[in-house]
């Protein structure tokens, strides 16, 4: 059971906008920044969003992140078939001397 | 090109040991905190450990504390993970990961470069 809670699955049609939620607590998301990763099958994860809403170089602006209180969201607009992947949120957690916590992952299907 | 290359994985019996290595290139390795993240077959990502660049402060997941030791050799641009008392539940792909910044927000947990991973299988 993951410390950060994500829906196990999400779906959308090409061109649509989808959002993936990530719920945490007062020791992680509420007081620290959130990062989002995309993982295509058989590959290493890729950083999609960092410090809540920043995109690394090369990540399309179709991807955006936000945070409010103990929750965060990843939004993907103009959905494309290549966006079909697993998405994970992560954050630093201040308990137990500090550690990183991940969400359980959301499998995004492009219909 | 910024690159991380893990090695040292393999098949080990329960209770055994392995040492993973992660060779870094293309960036100033000594300036970055470095981490290990694992992924069990068919499962999600799980953070294992982080080692700061200076001062040597370490952080471990509860599940590996006391059994795993993270270390680094900045002269060799290499990160290590010594894994002792291995259990079946440690079976996973182990990734080495570099954060996007050397300091400030995200310096311990926003990983912009990942290795290809090395598979560790704990089984009798």
Query: Taking CB atoms and an 8 Å limit, are B45 and A88 in contact across chains?
Result: yes
Torsion of Cα atoms, A96 then A47 then A79 then A57, to 10°: 140
pLDDT for position B104 = 87
**Stretch A65-79: mean pLDDT, rounded?**
98
Name the nearest CA neighbour of A37 among B69, B100, B17: B100
Q: pLDDT, tens digit, for every residue of B19-70?
A: 999 999 999 999 999 999 999 999 999 999 999 987 689 999 999 999 999 9
Kindly determine whether residue A44 and residue B106, on different chains, have CB atoms separated by under 8 Å.
no
Among A94, A100, A104, A108, the residue to mutate for chain B (most B Cβ within 10 A): A100
Q: What is the mean pLDDT of residues A53-77?
A: 97
Question: pLDDT tens-digit profile of B35-49?
Answer: 999 999 999 999 999
CA B106 – CA B93 distance, rounded (Å) = 23
Exposed, middle or buried, A41 (CB in 10 Å: 0-12/13-18/19+)? exposed
Residue B55 has what pLDDT?
A: 63
Closest-CA residue of chain A to B98: A47
3-state secondary structure B83-94: ECCCCHHHCEEE
User: Which tokens is A37 given?
Assistant: 């990763």
Contact B50, B34 (CB under 8 A): yes
From the list A35, A46, A99, which residue is nearest B110 (CB)? A35
Q: Mind listing the pLDDT tens digit for each residue in B73-111?
A: 999 999 999 999 999 999 999 999 999 998 888 899 999
Tell me the mean pLDDT in the region A72-97.
96
């Amino acid at each position: 059971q993951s410390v950060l809670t994500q829906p196990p699955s999400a779906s959308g049609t090409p061109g649509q906008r989808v959002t993936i939620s990530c719920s945490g607590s007062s020791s992680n998301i509420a007081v620290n920044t959130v990062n989002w990763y995309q993982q295509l099958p058989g590959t290493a994860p890729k950083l999609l969003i960092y410090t809540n809403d920043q995109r690394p170089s090369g990540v399309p602006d179709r991807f955006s992140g936000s945070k409010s209180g103990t929750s965060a969201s990843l939004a993907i607009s103009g959905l494309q078939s290549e966006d079909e992947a697993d998405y994970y949120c992560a954050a630093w957690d201040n308990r137990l001397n500090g550690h990183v916590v991940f969400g359980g992952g959301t499998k995004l299907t492009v219909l | 090109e910024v690159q991380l290359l893990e090695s040292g994985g393999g098949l080990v019996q329960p209770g055994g040991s392995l040492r993973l290595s992660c060779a870094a290139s293309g960036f100033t390795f000594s300036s970055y905190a470095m981490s290990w993240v694992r992924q069990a077959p068919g499962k999600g990502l799980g953070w294992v450990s982080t080692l700061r660049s200076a001062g040597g402060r370490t952080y471990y997941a509860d599940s590996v504390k006391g059994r795993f030791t993270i270390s680094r050799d900045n002269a060799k641009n290499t990160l290590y993970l010594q894994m002792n008392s291995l259990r079946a539940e440690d079976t996973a792909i182990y990734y080495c990961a570099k954060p996007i910044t050397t300091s400030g927000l995200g310096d311990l947990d926003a990983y912009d470069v990942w290795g290809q991973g090395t598979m560790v299988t704990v089984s009798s």
